[in-house]
Amino acid sequence: MTYERFEQLPVWQSAIGLARQIYALTSGPAFRRQRSLCDQLERAAVSVSNNIAEGFERGTTQELLTFLYIARGSAGEVRSMLCLMETLPGFDDLKSEILNLKSEAEGVSRQLRAWADSLQNSKIPGQRYLTEKARKATRAREEREKFLDELRALRERAASQPQPVFNGGSGE
């Protein structure tokens, strides 16, 4: 499926969901005395979706990849802070929420990795480079490759068929 807007991306939607859940967590009383942790956790959570959006809007596959890895790093940062919170006093009542959020952050990270892996092998340099001339050239290349594949298949079938034997043309 081709996405025209970053808001349509399932991974962006997951990242926004993660950020919403982080904001819900940090609005609780446990964070009243942990402002710096709260601020950093919120910024890292928002950074995931923001970097997906920025990379998507940049228009090149290479820049998108760069921002997907930055987003993945931010998801790791969220997980790291959640791991820290598990060990700090004052967050004991939030163990279940923290565990769920770590799982959500890990899921976003896996989605980002899968998308990045698929883009690594992409021949398309990005939306910015998709002019009508480039689209025509891509179509022509794909049609040429398809024709050559069909030609190779015909040759392979012909080579595997028994060849008729001729007796030298004496007509007898």
User: Quick check: 148 and 48 in contact, CB under 8 A?
Assistant: no
Contacts of residue 124, Cβ cutoff 8 Å, sequence gap at least 6: 61, 130, 138
pTM above 0.75, yes or no: no
Measured distance CA(82)–CA(98) in Å, rounded? 6
Q: What per-residue confidence (pLDDT) applies to 107?
A: 98
Helix axes 61-87, 35-58, angle to 10 degrees: 160
Rg (CA), the chain: 27
Q: Is 144 helix (H, G, I), strand (E, B) or coil?
A: helix
**Dihedral of CA 59/65/70/75: which sign?**
positive
Return the residue matching tokens 């980002």: 112
The per-residue pLDDT string of the chain (172 residues; one tens digit each, 9 = 90 and over) reads 678 899 999 999 999 999 999 999 999 999 998 999 999 999 999 999 999 999 999 988 899 999 999 999 999 999 999 999 999 999 999 999 999 999 999 999 999 999 999 888 776 655 554 566 666 766 777 788 888 888 888 888 888 887 776 666 555 5
User: What kind of fold does domain 6-128 have according to CATH?
Assistant: de novo design (two linked rop proteins) (1.20.1440)
Q: Amino acid identity of 102?
A: K
Q: What per-residue confidence (pLDDT) applies to 3?
A: 83
**83-92 long-range Cβ contacts below 8 angstroms, 24+ apart:** 84/37, 85/37, 88/34, 90/30, 90/33, 90/34, 91/30
Q: What per-residue confidence (pLDDT) applies to 126?
A: 55
Residue 78 CA from chain centroid, whole number: 18
Distances (CA, A) of 77 to 49, 144, 169: 13, 47, 82
Q: What per-residue confidence (pLDDT) applies to 166?
A: 67
